[in-house]
A and B are shown apart, each in its own frame.
Chain A
């Protein structure tokens, strides 16, 4: 078997897949295409680190790809897929044949649809190139406004504030992290940020960015409030980069639709990472943006390409660092959770267990890694817990399990 695998997208999903395919013994050519100029890198540090040299963490050193006989083509973009001929065309004019094509094209920042969003000093954060611009902006200009109180916004807020920058977070919803976290976690994190001097405005609608000489000077809200700032980070979510797939006639619905084995509706084309919408447990399609999800889908794709047994479903999880809080979250927080609090939120060590009649659905933890690990296991195994015992921090976690 010398089947040729082309991977479009050199982010965490694509680069992980390339390495795992060799690990699994794939003997044929593997080519990894990336439209950025940097080698595949870790994205989490982009919003969590600030100091020179901490941003650039390569997934693998350059020699790795040579040693593993993986061809990396950077700075070029795939512009079309010819499904009938099983060939892709790139912007520079070349074309490449495939036996398996894997789309790992990721997501792009959602643009802020208001006047002034193109002023100098306004940035979004997705790539290493973006992070370099943001760091320069923040280092030179001492007041940062962040539009969007999601994880990216709050992580940057924390690291900027810790470096003495004046930070204002502007959130359209009534609470930060409204789409992804429980109301209780939103409340705890809001208090944690405010106590460290970050201004957080919720229910605040941005109508325009104002500037002088082409540079941003303020964020203007619908009630007339002006937030003076020298730099503006827009962090209002991301959109799947599924245009290439859609143009090729692959099934897309707010992301490339795949099954639990990373397969699209074309038997020669797989898709993995932030760009996909895929079935989780109950069968509803979700699009997750996280490293563990990218890695899980890379493992699914390896099994499919190698003809191995399909991988078992994993509990979704992710992590975030904000000031001294190391947050780890497992499961998807339901809209109206019943919540058990264990530990002390005001001391920055706690776990919020969300359950349905004792069946654990999600856990949100800060500086309580054991609770996170136990919670993730309990969710995977459908373990039922006793809420009262779980709430008592002196009762060992194992003793909160109902048998």
Chain B
């Protein structure tokens, strides 16, 4: 099963197995990791699952217009900002790493 590495707002680092077809958000929620709030449950409606994608960019689709728009005014946005509900894990994923900001509410 692909592993995703989460660096949390408190600086701790967690490696989590995330099944294919699930999102980086799902992996965080399932393990009750702080920082990814995910109020809308993954429907790209709320921007409370904002992460910085540090490694593994090539495994994921480009952000949709909607995701881009949600991120444009998200707090602390950076060039590698993504909504983790839109980062779907697939078979080939390896060494995916995200930093979770402390600003998701």
Interface residues of A (CB under 8 A from B): 19, 22-23, 42, 44, 57, 59-61, 64, 67-68, 291-292, 295-296, 299, 314, 319, 326, 328, 367-370, 373-374, 377, 397
Contacts and interface: CB of A to CB of B under 8 A. Distances in A.
A326 B32 contact: no
Nearest to B45: A319
B45 A60 contact: no
Contacts of A292: 39, 46
A60 B29 contact: yes
Contact of B69 (A61, A314, A369): A369
A373 B32 contact: no
B25 interface: no
Secondary structure class of chain A's binding surface, majority of residues:
helix
A263 B4 CA distance: 38
25 contacts: A44-B43, A57-B41, A60-B29, A60-B30, A61-B30, A64-B30, A64-B32, A68-B32, A292-B46, A296-B105, A314-B105, A319-B46, A326-B66, A368-B69, A369-B47, A369-B66, A369-B69, A370-B70, A370-B72, A373-B47, A373-B69, A373-B70, A373-B73, A374-B73, A377-B73
Secondary structure class of chain B's binding surface, majority of residues:
loop
B53 to A, nearest CB: 19
B90 to A, nearest CB: 20
B45 A328 contact: yes
A64 B73 CA distance: 33
B70 A369 contact: yes
B66 A291 contact: no
Interface residues of B, number: 21
A361 to B, nearest CB: 18
A44 B40 contact: yes
B17 to A, nearest CB: 13
Interface of B: 29-30, 32-34, 37, 39-41, 43, 45-47, 66, 69-70, 72-75, 105
Contacts of A295: 37, 39, 105
Nearest to A292: B39
Nearest to A376: B73
B64 to A, nearest CB: 10
Given A60-B29, A370-B69, A370-B70, A326 B37 contact: no
A19 B28 CA distance: 12
Contacts of A67: 32
A22 B45 contact: no
A13 to B, nearest CB: 12
Contacts of A61: 30
A126 B41 CA distance: 18
B92 to A, nearest CB: 25
* Closest 8 pairs (CB-CB, A-B): A373-B73, A369-B69, A370-B69, A369-B70, A374-B73, A319-B45, A370-B72, A42-B41
A294 B29 CA distance: 17
A22 B69 contact: no
A292 B48 CA distance: 10
Q: Which of the listed residues B33, B45, B105 has the most CB atoms from chain A within 10 Å of its own CB? A: B45
A23 B33 CA distance: 7
Nearest to A24: B34
